[in-house]
A and B are shown apart, each in its own frame.
Chain A
Amino acid sequence: EVVLTQSPGTLSLSVGERATLSCRASQRVNTNHLAWYQQKPGQAPRLLIYGVSYRATGIPDRFSGSGSGTDFTLSISRLESEDIAVYYCQQYDRSRYTFGQGTKLEIK
């Protein structure tokens, strides 16, 4: 099983700053199978990024993804208060999907 480890656990930044969230895999991940989700309190997850760097429909260009191999990054430029959420990375390998444990983004 591919284990995804996200860091930091919690990120506290100010509005307008840039957020950088990390997702490290225990094995190499197929780039087509790496996605990021945003989950706001009391809501279902929402797809942000798929295939490492493709933005899902309706996602603002403040959100971007990058990486390869075992190291992946979600960046949020110009933080807004509405970005308060938990962010999860997800991968697929050998008929199994796994999620990272999440990074909680707080606004100072």
Chain B
Amino acid sequence: EVQLLQSEAEVKKPGESLKISCQASGYSFTGEWIAWVRQVPGKGLEWMGIIYPGDSETKYNPSFEGQVTISADHSIRTAYLQWNSLKVSDSGIYFCARRPVGQFFRMDVWGKGTTVTVSS
């Protein structure tokens, strides 16, 4: 069974750093893309960026570029989303999702989400 296991909820202060994770199982990790999607409570979905763990090619939504870093460690089948200096506005739920290679660009398997709360 294909699964994406996300790290637990985090509570941080503004200015702190954070790295959340998404561990994949049940498929070839290096052969499919992993996307990160943000959801502010009560709001919609925002695509943040995507990484191909096979060669670490990464693409960012311009709205998030420079604000976060997406990376992957294929030796432990894990993708990461990282902040160097959190803001209150970074609070939200962060989902990772698999985007299979091929002609159809869709996110077919999702993690349960990691809630990030940034508050002083």
Contacts and interface: CB of A to CB of B under 8 A. Distances in A.
A95 B59 contact: yes
B110 A88 contact: no
Interface string A89-105: 01010011111111000
B103 A32 contact: yes
Interface string B80-120: 00000000000000010100000111111111110000000
11 contacts: A32-B105, A33-B104, A35-B106, A37-B107, A44-B112, A47-B106, A57-B108, A90-B106, A92-B105, A96-B62, A97-B47
Interface of A: 32-33, 35, 37, 39, 43-47, 50-51, 54, 56-57, 88, 90, 92, 95-102
Closest 8 CB pairs of A and B: A50-B106, A97-B47, A92-B105, A35-B106, A44-B110, A99-B45, A33-B105, A51-B104
